[in-house]
Structure 1
Amino acid sequence: MTETMTWAPAEITPSDGPLPGLLAGRLDELLLSAGAVVFRGFGITPAALDGVLDRVLRDRLAYVHGNSPRSHVGDRVYTSTEYPAEHTISMHNELSYSARWPARLAFYCETAPGSGGATPVVSGAAWLAALPPGLRAAFAGGVRYTQNLHDGHGFGKSWQETFEAAGRAEVERHLTGMPGTTWEWKRDGGLRITQVRPATVTHPVTGTEVWFNQADQWHHAALGDETAAALARIMPEEDLPQHVTFADGSPIDPAYVLAIRDRGLAAAVDVDWRAGDLLVVDNVLVAHGRRPYSGPRRVLVAMSG
């Protein structure tokens, strides 16, 4: 039997007080206790967004080493994702495959979707508790991520786009000193990065252990049988844009991958968007995803260390 946990993000409305005071006085406390906070009904406008983000995120970061397709739309502000609208994005903590990840994320709804398009969020502790004990034991040794980035022409993302860099030296400066990380420049100009990371981490303040990896998103089983088979005909697994194994290099059972994905989504709470809403997330305590949608949807994201 797996444990069950009841969890939901905190919701703050104008009845709780003016937004500047709430951001200055209660946000840190709420994030530690709830992990995610929705500010709803304040009517934050695009023109006011930079000022709000300055209060929420003390040191905005560039989206360096990110693997999600997105566009840069402002001062370290990005579209949340440009993954096709008809697909679900499973639960994940931003950059959990890296030795460096943002501590805090802020999502802002500029245009609400016509239908669907919620951002599901899940407590990492609840996600961990929802996983079968045998699965958790199998992942105790951690995971190994392999990333193949082309040199401007190829399948997947380029290393220039991924690292927002024009030269190799800038990429190497980012990767140098990251625990468990090795890399090599390939003959075709591409870059292969290998990272060994734990499957769970402990929050530095609360001490909470959380599920914290992207094994299900990086594994070919999550692509569906037909897509995985088609890719297998084109290239070996180790040459795919993204590939994951256990830390010792042994394969991960596809059944584990689907259980991780499905139980994370099942335990999640949907944040349905209205224009002007703001969602702030502790990126260790809480994972996020995206439900399919139709019609216009524009959700922006920024992050901080």
Structure 2
Amino acid sequence: MSNWHHRGQSWAPELITPESAGIAADPRALAGHLASADVREILDRHQALLIRGFDVTEASLAGVMPLLLPERLAYIHGNTPRTKVGENVYTSTEYPPEYAISMHSELSYAPAWPARLLFFCVQPSATGGATPLLDNAAWLAALDEPLRREFSGGLCYRQYLHGGRGFGKSWQATFETDDRAQVEKILAPTGTQWEWTAGNALRTRTVRPATIRHPATGEELWFNQADQWHPATLGEDTMRELASIVPADELPQSVTFADGSPIPAEYVTRIRDTGLELAHDIAWQQGDVLLVDNLTLAHGRRPYSGARRVLVAMSH
């Protein structure tokens, strides 16, 4: 949506309510409506779909989800802590509520990523906790030309995944298996380099572009997680604390330019702040279902207080 800027904050997801659809306010009626809807066309036109007012619960979500996600994927190679609560359904990132989660497209650092994300609000937070959305073409356009040029050569993402005890995620949790051979089978076709350490940890190294072209429109999209993987965005206190307990080569994740040269801290803070500033907030209501085109839109999370439970699932 290259005209995101011109419309300012006027962009919003396509909204389906019982009133707009002319149907009963219950999950069964919603499922019937979705069965005859062209979800792909809706996402192509609007990039996101918000379904509100149907009293969807965690139990009744099972009747709705297959109509929105053709084939649910496991959160394999994911870099954030989540809890699996159903068949390829997870809690959203379990990150301290007082911090924002910066804008990103899911698994944009990986050689393969989901095409669609589905979020479901079981319980909205007392305050805050919105999920911001941002058009990736608009994010790219908002970054200055010198910065874009610096990133044109691509990025190198590195992970250090411990073998069961240590800081960050284990390789077992990351790949949902205890079998090294299975991990290698997942990594082998992706171009990722890996090595096992003497302490049963796994190091991976993946070189990826910072932008990609939309397969249908050819539009260039900002599509990376440089700011999330860079220690500068953790804040100085956290960086110092980490450095005192974790050797540099055992950081759970880190990123450089593709040639190995460091990315200046000012670049990643500018990228992060630009994304969060431009984004459109989705303020959750209980029972909301949000479907997002993961290629064209980035998402994040605003800080919040009180209990909050939002589930996420993904598909091709």
TM bin, normalised by shorter chain, reads over 0.9
CA distance in structure 2 between the aligned counterparts of 1:175 and 1:228, rounded to whole angstroms: 29
Instruction: Name the stretch that deviates more: 46-55 or 230-239.
Output: 230-239
Counterpart position of 2:203:
192
Secondary structure (helix, strand or coil) at the match of 1:110 reads: strand
Match of 1:131 in 2: 143
Q: Give the deviation of 1:195 after TM superposition.
A: 0.4
Partner of 1:291: 302
> How far apart are residue 123 of structure 1 and its match?
0.7
- Which one-letter code corresponds to 1:9 in the other structure? P
2:265 to 254, 257, 271: 254
Uncovered stretches (5+) of structure 1, i.e. residues with no partner: none
Is the contact made by 1:57 and 1:104 (CA closer than 8 Å) also made in structure 2? yes
Determine the structure 2 residue equivalent to 1:243: 254
Q: CA deviation at 1:241?
A: 0.7
* Structure 2 counterpart SS, 1:176: helix
* 2:80 counterpart SS class: coil
Report what 1:208 is aligned to: 219
Deviation track 1:266-293 (CA, whole Å, cap 9, x = no partner) reads 1101100111101000110001111111
Specify the alignment match of 1:183 in structure 2: 194
Q: TM-score under structure 2 normalisation?
A: 0.92
Query: How many residues align structurally?
Result: 302
- Report what 1:303 is aligned to: 314
Give the Cα separation in 2 of the matches to 1:114 and 1:296: 7
Matched, 1:4 2:35: no
1:108 partner amino acid:
F
Instruction: Report the 3-state secondary structure (helix = DSSP H, G, I; strand = E; otherwise coil) of the residue aligned with 2:5.
Output: coil
Partner of 1:66: 78
Runs of 5+ in structure 2 lacking a partner?
A: 24-29
2:113 corresponds to which of 97, 101, 119: 101
**Which amino acid in 2 is paired with 1:115?**
T
Cα shift at 1:294: 1.1
Give the Cα–Cα distance (whole angstroms) in 2 for the partners of residues 46 and 232 of structure 1: 41
The one-character-per-residue Cα deviations of 1:192-218 (angstroms, maximum 9, x if unpaired) are 000000001122233322110000000
Match of 1:13 among 14, 17, 22: 17
TM-score (norm 1): 0.95
Q: Kindly state the Cα deviation for residue 46 of structure 1 after the two structures are TM-superposed.
A: 1.7
C-alpha deviation, 1:115, in angstroms:
1.0
Checking the alignment, whether the CA contact within 8 Å between 1:4 and 1:129 is kept in structure 2 is no
Aligned-residue identity in percent: 56
Instruction: Report if the CA contact (8 A) 2:13-2:49 is conserved.
Output: yes
Task: State how far apart, in whole Å, the 2-side matches of 1:272 and 1:164 are.
Answer: 32
Change (3 A) 1:131 1:151: same
Q: Which whole-Å CA distance do the structure 2 matches of 1:208 and 1:42 have between them? A: 35
Q: Which residue of 1 aligns with 2:126?
A: 114
Could you say if the C-alpha distance between residues 23 and 139 of structure 1 is closer, same or farther in structure 2, counting changes exceeding 3 Å? farther
